[in-house]
Amino acid sequence: MNNQNPNFPEETELSDTALLRRLIARRAYQLYEARGCLDGFDLQDWLQAQREILGQVEPPEQAAAVGR
Protein backbone atom coordinates (compact mmCIF):
# COMPACT_ATOMS: atom_id res chain seq x y z
CA MET A 1 0.00 0.00 0.00
CA ASN A 2 1.34 3.43 -0.97
CA ASN A 3 1.08 5.90 1.93
CA GLN A 4 2.19 8.91 -0.11
CA ASN A 5 -0.54 11.43 -0.84
CA PRO A 6 -0.13 13.01 -4.30
CA ASN A 7 -1.87 16.19 -3.08
CA PHE A 8 1.05 17.13 -0.83
CA PRO A 9 4.52 18.22 -1.96
CA GLU A 10 7.44 15.97 -1.19
CA GLU A 11 9.37 16.54 2.01
CA THR A 12 12.27 18.16 0.15
CA GLU A 13 9.90 20.68 -1.43
CA LEU A 14 8.53 21.57 1.99
CA SER A 15 12.06 22.03 3.27
CA ASP A 16 12.95 24.27 0.33
CA THR A 17 9.81 26.33 0.88
CA ALA A 18 10.45 26.65 4.59
CA LEU A 19 14.05 27.69 3.93
CA LEU A 20 12.99 30.34 1.42
CA ARG A 21 10.40 31.72 3.83
CA ARG A 22 13.03 31.93 6.58
CA LEU A 23 15.52 33.69 4.31
CA ILE A 24 12.89 36.16 3.14
CA ALA A 25 11.71 36.80 6.70
CA ARG A 26 15.27 37.41 7.88
CA ARG A 27 15.95 39.86 5.05
CA ALA A 28 12.61 41.64 5.61
CA TYR A 29 13.54 42.10 9.27
CA GLN A 30 16.93 43.52 8.26
CA LEU A 31 15.13 46.04 6.05
CA TYR A 32 12.83 46.92 8.97
CA GLU A 33 15.82 47.45 11.25
CA ALA A 34 17.65 49.52 8.63
CA ARG A 35 14.66 51.87 8.55
CA GLY A 36 14.98 52.37 12.29
CA CYS A 37 12.26 49.84 13.22
CA LEU A 38 9.56 52.12 11.81
CA ASP A 39 6.23 50.30 11.61
CA GLY A 40 3.88 50.31 8.64
CA PHE A 41 6.19 49.00 5.92
CA ASP A 42 5.93 45.26 6.57
CA LEU A 43 4.46 44.43 3.16
CA GLN A 44 7.00 46.56 1.31
CA ASP A 45 9.82 44.99 3.32
CA TRP A 46 8.54 41.47 2.62
CA LEU A 47 8.16 42.10 -1.11
CA GLN A 48 11.60 43.72 -1.36
CA ALA A 49 13.17 40.83 0.54
CA GLN A 50 11.32 38.35 -1.69
CA ARG A 51 12.66 40.04 -4.83
CA GLU A 52 16.19 40.02 -3.46
CA ILE A 53 16.15 36.40 -2.26
CA LEU A 54 14.35 34.96 -5.27
CA GLY A 55 16.64 36.95 -7.55
CA GLN A 56 19.54 34.97 -6.10
CA VAL A 57 17.89 31.67 -7.07
CA GLU A 58 18.43 30.91 -10.74
CA PRO A 59 15.59 28.96 -12.39
CA PRO A 60 16.71 25.54 -13.74
CA GLU A 61 15.71 26.49 -17.30
CA GLN A 62 18.09 29.46 -17.27
CA ALA A 63 20.91 27.41 -15.75
CA ALA A 64 20.54 24.82 -18.49
CA ALA A 65 20.52 27.48 -21.21
CA VAL A 66 23.70 29.06 -19.86
CA GLY A 67 25.47 25.68 -19.85
CA ARG A 68 25.00 25.19 -23.61
pLDDT tens column, 16-67: 889 999 999 999 999 999 999 999 999 999 999 999 999 987 666 655 565 5
Residue 54 is part of which domain span? 41-68
| Residue 68: inside a domain | yes
Q: Is the separation of the CB atoms in 24 and 45 below 8 Å?
A: no
| Residue 61: inside a domain | yes
| Residue 12: inside a domain | no
Domain count, the chain: 1
pTM > 0.85: no
- The vertex-14 CA angle with 9 and 16, nearest 5°, equals 125
| Residue 64: inside a domain | yes
The dihedrals phi and psi of 34, each to the nearest 5 degrees, come to -65, -25
